[in-house]
Structure formats: structure tokens, C-alpha cells
Structure 1
Amino acid sequence: MRRPAKPGRLRQMLTRRTILLAGLQAGVIGTLGVQMRRIAVEQNQSFRLLAEENRVNIRLIPPVRGLVFDRLGKPLAYNEPNYKIDMVREQSGDPETVLRRLATIIPITEEDIASALEEMSKRRGFVPVTVAEDLDWEHIAAVSANAPALPGITPELGHYRIYPQADDFAHILGFVGPVSDYDLSQTDDDDPLLLIPRFQIGKNGIERRIEKPLRGKSGVKRIEVNSIGRVMRVLGREESQPGANVQLTIDNRLQRYAMERLGKESAAAVVMDVRNGDIVALASAPSFDPNKFVRGISTTDWNALNTDTYKPMLNKTVTGTYPPGSTFKMVTALAALKGGFVKPDDKVYCGGYLELHNRRFHCWRRGGHGKVDMHDSLKKSCDVYYYEVCQEVGIENISAMAKELGIGVEHELELPAVREGLAPTKDWKKRRRDADWVIGDTLNASIGQGFVLASPMQLAVMTARIASGTKISPRLVNAIDNRPHPVKGREPLDIDPEHLDVVRKGMYGVVNERGGTAGRSRIRKEGWDMAGKTGTSQVRFITKEERARGVIRNSDLPWERRDHALFVAYAPADNPRFSISVVVEHGGGGSSVAAPIAKDIMLEALELSEDMDYRSLPTDVRAGRERPDDKA
């Protein structure tokens, strides 16, 4: 049996326990005190900021996109207000429930709800997602009035892009559309605006090539929200910077006329001011309505554009490249004169063909032209003359002259997919075709066939350089935010002026002298005489058998096997103001199809020329205005 402890010993044991417990309690209390001091004093700023972030949201303010005008201040692209509803998932609690409440106030469908939920699932919780747009003010007022029952929902004011000229400027302006995953994968642009769902950027044309200046810079809005995400007040706001205004060199009146004149053809026309390189018309037909892309083009419309044989989505003026045919003969003529291989009055006999190595190279005129000099070779477009001359000139000299005149080089324009064409050389064929250059290649190239390719833009530049004697380069943008773009290429060509005069007189004869291939397209108004050159380029091979029984007429061939029709010109002949090139795909003859179109467009350009001088943008038309004065 255990004996009870003595009273003295018991008091001693209680005292030790009391002291131990008291020490432990003091240690815990001290540790808590130290931690509380660190939180309250040392980490006060950090926790205060965390708390601030829980009640303050920072939102981007998208900028208003810059406006686009023609050379006279006519609006070509502007913005209209778009009332929309955004939703932030992390502030809404149950997004689906909130969206169904919203559906009782504004017109949104089950498909819209499903689309919004899917979009929110792909984005971070704090990123606003647009769930409805293009609403009336009454809808916005109703949503605002029911804000307590719609957590995470915010009415916003956005903007729609409008293209008032529609089809006429589609290939120049392009269009805008929502940023896609593909767009993000193709750019290193870290602008946070690109992460905003449905934020629109340029997808084609000027809108794409001048995207950053047109886009502007975002602003920031700091708002205070309560525990359920309702906006209580705006704490601060830094306004966005609107995009820059862009003024083009295009005259909307001439552009509209050119598009109407091309009609239903698959064709292109370029009009260029030879004095400064201004592109005053850049027409590619058929075209499309860019407004359909802004809000999302329908599957039916998209399929129709993509299956159209005439390729309405293709900008034929700079992306389309074609054998230039006889419009290239000025290149060969100038190369021959520069090298001293021929004199202007040297004559060549044309019997309808040149036979070389048991192969016949035919002239377009079956019976031939008889004896012709350089002037007649241009006026009558004799092929055999160039077959004979080019054998001495050689492809290297022809190629070098083509590049001097703007063919085979990529011109700097604010448009996507600008092609450089092709001025072939022996080295090019070896590298690209793994084959040696043969004399037949030179004969074909001398008349703009074979491997030679040029865009309508390049043909207009070639003609402008011949007319002006300078290396003038094309210019599409006059100014960005009233800062003028420079004129390039006013230095003289590396060509003897006398040689240029020989070619100019030949081009004058094409239109204005008896026997010229474009005599029916002569401008009869005094002082407006036009100098030009017709061209017809083959897209199929004509066999010996077909030539023997008679070449099939273009009108009897399927459309895609017909010749291309081309014409280049400048006017007035004695004081050049404009150059023009017209290409009609599979149109047949250049003299019968392309030349009359070019004549009509040139006449319109000359009649409008007094109004084509530069004008500055109106000082009250600044980026940020939804819609400029349409009377400009």
C-alpha cells in the first residue's frame, strides 16, 4: 500500500508545475505578441495592399480606333457606338444563374449563354467577357437598374468599325475582326489589349499593316467593388489614347469610277501620279463587303467568296502577277538602246515568225509586218522585231532594265502580300528550276512571256518611270496623324533621255497614229493625248496542229484558257500627270478589252485632277470621334 505524500513535499511539487505552466504560457503569449507586432507593423503595407486588391479592380479602357480618310478628307473607315454587356466570372458567383437572369431583361438566346460560358471557361476569372452587344440604350438602362441582382455584369460602351464605301475600298482598307488564337500565335506583340475577348484588330489591308498606330493605347480604370463584386465607385481613371488618323493618297471618286468601269470582269486597274508616286486609284474586281467581317461573316457568305472563280478576296493589283505580254516591249527596247545593240531607225523584217533551231516563234500577226524599225515595232507591236533584237541584248541586260523600271522588285506599300514579280536571269533558272537558260527563254522574255511576271502595280510604276524619267516609287499613305509620308524616287533613271524619247514616241504612235494597236482608244480632247501600249499574254500553249488549222478564238475557249488582256498608258502625252495599267484576266485582246477601260478611267482622272491636290485633315477631325463629318 502506497503512502500519501507529506504536505511539504506536495507543496514543492505544485510550485514547480505552476512555474512550468506559467513559463509555457508566457512563451506562447510572447510569440503571439511578436507575430502580431510583425503583422501589424512590419507587414502592414503588404497586407493592406492585399486587402485593397480584394476590393479594388483594375480594368483596361480600350482605345477608340483611328479613322481613315481619302486624299480629300472623305471618311473611308470610322467607328459607331456599340452598347454591350460584359461579365467577370469571379465576381458573378454562379455565372449561368446570372446569365439566365440577364436573359429576362435583354434579348440573349440559349446559344449566346452557352457561348459566353465557354468563353469564360477559357479565360482567367478576372477577364471581362462580352456576353451581348449591339444593344439599345433602353436595354443598357434596364441592366443598370437591375444591377444588384446581376453580380459581375457591367454595361459598357464599345465601337463598331464601319466602312461606308464598302466594296470599293475592301482590298485597300481590309477589315478588322476579333483577336484569334492564331493571331496571338503569329505575333510577339505583348499589348494586354490583345487578351481582351472580342477586341478587334486589323486582319487585312491598311487596317493590318498600320495596326499599331490605328489601335492606339489602352487606359486604366480603378473601381471599388463590394463583397459580391458590385461596383461601388470609380477610384481613378487614366484615359486611353485614341488611334492615329490615316490619310490615303486615293481619290474616292476615281476609285469608285474605276470599280464601276471594271464591272463584272476579273480585273485590276492602277492609276498613279507620275510626279510624286501617289496612287490615286487601286481597283481590284470583283470585290467584297468588309462590313460583313466586322460582326462575323456568315458561313454562306464565306463559302461564296472562297469558291468564286474570280477570287474576290485577292487583291489583284499587288498580289496578282501576270505575264506582261507586249507591255514589256518597252523594257527590251530600252535595254537594246542602252547597250548600243540597235539604233532607233534600224529595220528588221517580220514575215510572221522567226525560225530558230527548228522551232518557230510566231508574231501575233500571221502574215507579218514587213520591215519595221523601233517606232513601228512598238506602234504595231511586232513580236519578230524583239525576237531578233533580244538575241544580241541578252537576258541579263533585259532583266537589269526591267528592275530599273520597277519590275522584279518589291515596292514598299502599306498592303500585305505585295509581290515582286519576276525579271528572270540565267542564275535564277539554275537555282529555281535546276536547268540551263536557253535562247528560246530569251525570245519569250523579250515580249513579256515565258518566265516574266509583273503585277498591275509594277506595270503602272514602269509606265510612270518612262513618262517621268525618274525612279518614282508608289505611295499609298499621304499622312499619319498629319505627319506626311515622304515622296521617294525623284532621282533620274539610269537611262539616256534620248532613248526614253524614242520609246515615248512609239507609245504615242500606239494610240494616236494610223496603224497603232490602240487607235480606237484615242483621247480626242486637245491637250489630253494618251501614250500607251497594248498587251495580250497567252496562258496556254498553241500547238503546230492548231496553228495549221487556225488558232481557236478566245471567245470559243473556256474562260480560264483565254488570253489575259493588258494595257498601260500615261497622259497627257506632252506633260504627263498620270500613268495607268489595266489587266483583265482571260479578257482576250489588250486593244479590244483593256485599252477602252484604261481610256475611260484616264479621262475621269484628268477631269478630276484639279481637285486631287493635297489637303490636310480637318483640325476638328481627331482620332476618338466616332464618326467624322461626312460632307468632306
Structure 2
Amino acid sequence: MKNFRKGDGERSGLFTRRALVLGGAQAVLMTALAGRLYQLQVVETDRFSTMAEENRINMRLLAPSRGQIFDRSGVPLAVNRNNFRAMATSDRGRGADLLVERLDQIFSLGEAEKIRLLRELRRSRSAQPIVVRENLGWEEVARLEFNAPDLPGVFIDLGQSRDYPEGDLMSHIVGYTGRVADEDLAGRDDPVLQLATMRFGKKGVERSLEDDLRGRAGAVQVEVNAVGRVVRELDRTEGQPGANALLTIDLDIQRFATEKMKEHKSGSVVVLDVVTGDVIAMVSTPGFDPSTFARGITQTEWRDLLDNPERPLHNKAIAGVYPPGSTYKMVTALAALEAKVIDPWTRLPCAGFLELGNIKFHCWLKGGHGSTNVSEAIAMSCDCFFYEAARRAGIDRVSDMAQRLGFGKVSELGLPGESAANQPTRAWKQEKIGKPWQHGDTFNLGIGQGYMTATPLQLAIMTARIANGGYEVQPNLLLAKATPREELVPPPPRTKPTAPSLRLNPQHLAIVRQGMSDVVNSSQGTANALRVKQAEFTFAGKTGTAQVKRITEREREMGITQASLPWHLRHHALFVCYGPVDNPRYACAVIVEHGQAGGATAGPIGRDVLVETMKRDPSRRTDRFKKMASR
């Protein structure tokens, strides 16, 4: 009995010790828990209250309304329209795969679209939604709302998308907008560009005026539930809309010039105000519909544009490069006159060719033009005269004159993608081809062939600088810009150039202009068929044909002509002109790709467009804009 009691006491002591250990451990844990609760609820209450509030309330940026673009009379060229779009939020991609599958059942997403959504959902933070699909119809909106319980974080948003009322008529000038790409962010730290709904100017004026048109972001404070769906809007600060832009383009003349080009596959027309440099029209055909890019172009549409041999995405007015042909002969004439290697009365012979060593450089007129002076040579486009004039002036003087008249460099127009083309020099040939300049190269340059290339815009600039008396006028597309709170008013008309003078001898300019007038208004001129009867619309011009493929003597004997060649091998047709002759105000350059003959193909287009411009006289026309602004 005594031994039993002793064993019972030992067990009781062991139990008591264990109970004390467990009790102590529980006490320590409870103390730690109480301490942690005190720390969370008392010491760090402000921090965790803030975190909870941040999870409940999101601050989201609002994309500003993009500035609108108008022609010089106030006709809208790029506007904004309301756009219902499906948006989605995700906490760094959690549940993204399931969400995209459900969205696919509603919208029938393509594979590329599903990949894009997954990528953007995994990169996004819950505060900033991504775009699922834009331009929703009522049926799509209803379908999405019906399935809303199964689509956490998805909601309908009313935004704005870009609309281009004139379609392909203004596509190359206005350009288009698209999603913000990584290269668009270079040098820009505007946080609004990180928004999935933001659009960025990709081409044309939309790109060149991007920073003005974009505006400044607003912000909205919203309350969200646990799955990121907006419960209510708490506060909103509207952004500042972008500036509106008034362009120099006259839409009526732009449309008229485009209509004149319709019977030809591809080409360009540029009309400049020779006093101000305003671009009145700048046509590049064929065009494209910029709205397809604004809404999101499909792979099929993109491939069709890229594979089109007429290059509709290519702005031929500023990026198309062509040999200027005989339209370059005014450059050669001025270079020779200014260098005093010929004078206005110098007569040079033309027997139909000029020999250099054992090579014959032919004139376009078989049998030649006989003896001509400089104005007669321009009127009749005598090649032999300009071979010799270029030889006497030399490559350096000819090249220098060409650069003064706008060749070989990008203008101050500001549109992206403009080409400098190529004004060859001795140094250029040595560097690019590794050979020294030859006399034969000078002969070819004298008539705008060989290594020489130019854009339609450069040809218009040259013509404008000759017409305005030798002032370095620069092309300009922007008439005025202003925020929506400011009045968008065009500047007052100007009658005299304010650009620097090229310091050309007025007598030499007069001789060249006389030759250009005789091209059209003399019976000997290469474009005398274009002469107009109305004295107030009398104009001057110069024809040109740029060789694409040389037809050999053997091919001629076989009956091969320009008309019998495939379209892409025919010569380009060129024409430059200005008017009125007595008081020049407008210059026009036309290139019809593979149009064969300048006088017959490009000439009538240049004449009709220039006469129409002189009739309308857009430099003095602001009445339509005033009516529009007063509404």
C-alpha cells in the first residue's frame, strides 16, 4: 500500500510539471498573440488602415480628350467619337487564363488577341485596367453585362476613339493613331502613356503634333470590391484636352487634285503658296483608310496594304524619290547664269547630240533644235544646251544651286518619313560608289538624270522659290493651334515673303521665268497645248520625263515603245508650274508614276489643279472658317 502511494505521487508530480510547462507555453503564445494583436491594432493601426483603404480605393488616370484637326476653312479632318469598350483588371494575372477563356466564349477572340490579353493581364496592376475590346455594339454590351457575375474585374467603359471623316483623301497628311509602343516612350515620361486606352500618333500630323494633341491626364478615385469590380466613383478630376490644329490644307483643292489623279495608278500632287509656304494640297495616290488603324487593323488588312505594288502606305509627296528629268533644267540654267559662264544672250548649238570622247549624249529631239539661248532652251527643253551649260558651270556650282533651291535635304515641313532624296556631289560619289566624278556625270545631272533624285515636295519648293523672286520659303502645314479654351484663328493674309533671300540675280530669275512661261504660252513650248485663254489665270511651267528603262536601238527596231512596256517599266511623267505669271502666288508639282510623258500626262493635271487653286485663291479665303467658328 505504501509503495502504491509512492508511485501515485510520482505520477502526480510528473503530470503537474507537464501541466505547468504546457500552461507556460500557452501563456507565452497567448502573450505573443496579444502582443501581435496590440501591435497590429494599436501600434500599426494607421499603416494597416491605409493599406486596407488602398485595397478598397483605387486612383486611376483618365486619358485626356485628343485635340481635333481641321483644314484651313474649319472642316474637321480628325475628330473623337464615343466608344463603348470592355475593360478588365487583374492582380498581376491571377485567374487570367480562366478569365480569357470566358471572354473568348463571349467575343470569339482570335489566338493573337488571347495572347495579348494574357500578356497584358499578367503585367497589369489592379489599379489600371486593360482594354479587352473596343467599339462594342449593343449586342456585345448586353452579352457582357449578362455574363458579368462570371467575369470578375471586367466592366464596360465609355471612352473615345479617333475618327477620320475624309478617309483616304487625307490619310497621308493627317496620319493615324495606334497603341503606344515601347519606341513611342523614348524621351517621354508622361504617365498617361502607360494607360492601355491611350492612343499615340503614328503617322502624319497625328505624329508630328503628338505632344500638342495629346493633352494632360485627369484622375478618378473609385471604390472597388474584393474582385476589383468598381462599386462607386468617389472623386473625379477631368484632364486637359489636347490642342486643336488648323492645317494649311484646302480640302476642296485636295479633293479636286485627288479626282484628277484617279485615272492613274500612282503618283503625287503638291500645291504650295509661294509667299507663305503653306501647303494647299498634298496628294499621294493611292491612299488608305486611317480609321482601320484607329479601330485596330487586322493581319489580313495589314498584309493587303503591304503587298500592294502601288504602295498605298507610302507618302509619295515627301518620301517618293524620282529623277526630276527636265524639270531640273532651271537649276542648271541658274547655276550657269550665276557663275557667268553663259549670259542671257548666249546661244549654244544643238545638232541632236553632243559628243564626249566616243560617247554621244542625245537630245530628245532627233535632228536637234539648232541654236538656242537659255530661255528658248527651257521652252523647247533642249538637252544639248543643258549638257553644255552644266559642263561650263561644273558639278560644284550646279550642286550648290540645287541645294539653295531645296534639293538634297529635308525641308522644315515636319512630317515624319520625309526623304532628302539625293543631290549628288563629287564627295558623295567617291564615298558611295568609290569612283571619282566624271564629265559624263555632269552631263546627266544637267538634265536631271543620272544619280539625281528628288521628291514632289522638293520640286514644288524649287518652283516656289523661282516664282517668288528667289526667297527661301519653307513648306508649312500648320496654320494655327490652340487649346479648346482658346479661339482657333488663322493668321492674317500675307502678300510678300518674309523668308530670307537666296540673293539670286533678279535678271537671271526673270530669264528663267520667261523660259517657263514660254513652255506653256509660246508656240515653240513643249506644253503649249496647256495654254489657258483667261489672262488672269495665265501660268508658267516645265515638263519632264524621268527614264525608268532605256529602250535600246535594237528594241526600237523590234517595235518596242514606252506604251508596249509593262506599267512598272514605263517612264515617270513630271510637270511643275506656277501662276499667275505676272504676280505668282501658287506653285504646283505633279508626278505620275510610269505616266510616260510629262506634257501629255502630268501637264493637264498640273494645269487644272493650278487654275482651280488660282480661282479659289485660298490664301485670302477665311469666310468658311468664320462661319464654322461662329456656330
State TM-score, norm by structure 2: 0.87
CA contact (8 A) 2:93 2:124 kept: no
> Could you say which residue in structure 1 is the equivalent of 2:364?
364
In the TM superposition, 1:83-482 aligns within 5 A as 83-90=84-91, 108-109=107-108, 111=110, 114=114, 118-126=118-126, 127-136=128-137, 140=141, 150-180=151-181, 183-184=182-183, 187-197=186-196, 199-265=198-264, 266-468=266-468, 469-481=470-482, 482=488
> Once structures 1 and 2 are overlaid, which stretch shifts more, 68-77 or 203-212?
203-212
Counterpart-to-counterpart distance in 1, 2:20 and 2:306: 91
Counterpart-to-counterpart distance in 2, 1:92 and 1:350: 79
> Could you say which residue in structure 1 is the equivalent of 2:578?
570
> Could you say which residue in structure 2 is the equivalent of 1:62?
63
Distance of aligned partners of 1:29 and 1:484 in 2 relative to their CA distance in 1, 3 Å threshold: farther
Distance of aligned partners of 1:138 and 1:322 in 2 relative to their CA distance in 1, 3 Å threshold: closer
Unmatched segments (≥5 aa) in structure 1: 6-15, 622-628
In the TM superposition, 1:18-57 aligns within 5 A as 39-40=40-41, 43-57=44-58
Counterpart-to-counterpart distance in 1, 2:491 and 2:27: 79
> Could you say which residue in structure 2 is the equivalent of 1:539?
548
Q: Secondary structure of 2:49's match?
A: helix
Deviation of 1:440 after TM superposition, in Å, equals 0.4
CA contact (8 A) 1:176 1:207 kept: yes
> Could you say which residue in structure 2 is the equivalent of 1:598?
606
CA contact (8 A) 1:93 1:151 kept: no
Residue 73 (structure 2) pairs with residue 75 (structure 1) = no
Letter in 1 for 2:549: R
Q: Secondary structure of 1:349's match?
A: coil
Q: Secondary structure of 1:400's match?
A: helix
Deviation of 1:583 after TM superposition, in Å, equals 0.7
CA contact (8 A) 2:324 2:544 kept: yes
CA contact (8 A) 1:91 1:152 kept: no
Counterpart-to-counterpart distance in 2, 1:426 and 1:64: 52
Counterpart-to-counterpart distance in 1, 2:269 and 2:64: 36
> Once structures 1 and 2 are overlaid, which stretch shifts more, 148-157 or 426-435?
148-157
Residue 539 (structure 2) pairs with residue 530 (structure 1) = yes
Counterpart-to-counterpart distance in 2, 1:532 and 1:607: 18
Counterpart-to-counterpart distance in 2, 1:495 and 1:29: 98
CA contact (8 A) 2:220 2:236 kept: yes
> Could you say which residue in structure 2 is the equivalent of 1:510?
519
CA contact (8 A) 1:535 1:590 kept: yes
Q: Secondary structure of 2:311's match?
A: coil
Deviation of 1:354 after TM superposition, in Å, equals 0.2
> What is the CA RMSD across the aligned residues, in angstroms?
3.8
Q: Secondary structure of 2:65's match?
A: coil
Letter in 1 for 2:513: R
Q: 1:609 aligns with which of 617, 622, 628?
A: 617
CA contact (8 A) 1:92 1:98 kept: no
Distance of aligned partners of 1:255 and 1:238 in 2 relative to their CA distance in 1, 3 Å threshold: same
Distance of aligned partners of 1:143 and 1:593 in 2 relative to their CA distance in 1, 3 Å threshold: closer
Deviation of 1:123 after TM superposition, in Å, equals 2.9
Counterpart-to-counterpart distance in 1, 2:354 and 2:510: 28
Deviation of 1:216 after TM superposition, in Å, equals 2.1
Letter in 2 for 1:600: D
Counterpart-to-counterpart distance in 2, 1:359 and 1:114: 66
Counterpart-to-counterpart distance in 1, 2:232 and 2:467: 66
Letter in 2 for 1:50: M
Deviation of 1:120 after TM superposition, in Å, equals 4.9
- Give CA-to-partner distance per residue, 1:156-175, whole Å, 9 cap, x none: 00222211111111111112
Distance of aligned partners of 1:199 and 1:596 in 2 relative to their CA distance in 1, 3 Å threshold: same
Deviation of 1:18 after TM superposition, in Å, equals 13
State TM-score, norm by structure 1: 0.87
Letter in 1 for 2:85: K
- Give CA-to-partner distance per residue, 1:453-512, whole Å, 9 cap, x none: 110000000000001121100001112224879999612222111111111111111110
> Once structures 1 and 2 are overlaid, which stretch shifts more, 202-211 or 64-73?
202-211
> Once structures 1 and 2 are overlaid, which stretch shifts more, 304-313 or 567-576?
304-313
Counterpart-to-counterpart distance in 1, 2:36 and 2:299: 64
> Once structures 1 and 2 are overlaid, which stretch shifts more, 279-288 or 188-197?
188-197
Letter in 1 for 2:214: R
Deviation of 1:21 after TM superposition, in Å, equals 11
Q: 2:596 aligns with which of 585, 588, 591?
A: 588
> Could you say which residue in structure 2 is the equivalent of 1:495?
504
Letter in 2 for 1:43: E
Deviation of 1:196 after TM superposition, in Å, equals 3.5
Deviation of 1:102 after TM superposition, in Å, equals 7.3
Distance of aligned partners of 1:297 and 1:612 in 2 relative to their CA distance in 1, 3 Å threshold: farther
Deviation of 1:347 after TM superposition, in Å, equals 0.5
Deviation of 1:264 after TM superposition, in Å, equals 3.6
Counterpart-to-counterpart distance in 2, 1:562 and 1:300: 31
CA contact (8 A) 2:413 2:476 kept: yes
Deviation of 1:125 after TM superposition, in Å, equals 4.9
Counterpart-to-counterpart distance in 2, 1:92 and 1:442: 66
Distance of aligned partners of 1:618 and 1:83 in 2 relative to their CA distance in 1, 3 Å threshold: farther
Deviation of 1:542 after TM superposition, in Å, equals 4.5
- Give CA-to-partner distance per residue, 1:130-168, whole Å, 9 cap, x none: 334323457657866875664312210022221111111
Unmatched segments (≥5 aa) in structure 2: 7-16, 483-487
CA contact (8 A) 1:148 1:230 kept: no
CA contact (8 A) 1:264 1:285 kept: no
> Could you say which residue in structure 1 is the equivalent of 2:12?
none
CA contact (8 A) 2:551 2:561 kept: no
